[in-house]
Amino acid sequence: MLRVNLWGPYHCAREVVPVMIRQGGGTIVNISSIAGKIGDLTSAPSYGTSKGGLNAFTKALARELAPHGITVNAVAPHAIETEMSREWPDEKRREVLATIPLGRMGTVREVAEAVAFLASDGARFITGEVLNVNGGSLMD
């Protein structure tokens, strides 16, 4: 879990940051989770721990790279319609939906659009943020 969710983004950043510095800027968007903000919800504690570490890494890297014109942010989804969530038992689906003020699961497209926004020129003054994409499940 840590290898994929924390070390993976670390190693990707390690490779791309020198290039971004040479080119005078860039954007990094990490994929976190609501579990990184509130602790794990349903799987192993290592999942929430790895995503919490990713959130801290995102913020630390944002501070370090800002002078180079590089923004670093993350999106924190929750309850997204995927192949995995489609396999949830009906009871679990009802329990999850009850925690979402918008009353529905999110879509992969909605997560992708949040990433695209953070990577766009419209977000050039945003760095060190972990953006909730969760239908209001967590408002912080």
* Catalytic residue positions, numbered: 47
CA distance 44 to 74: 21
Identity of residue 8: G
DSSP state letter for 26: E
61 phi/psi in degrees, rounded to 5: -65, -35
- The answer to whether 56 and 30 are in contact (CB under 8 A) is no
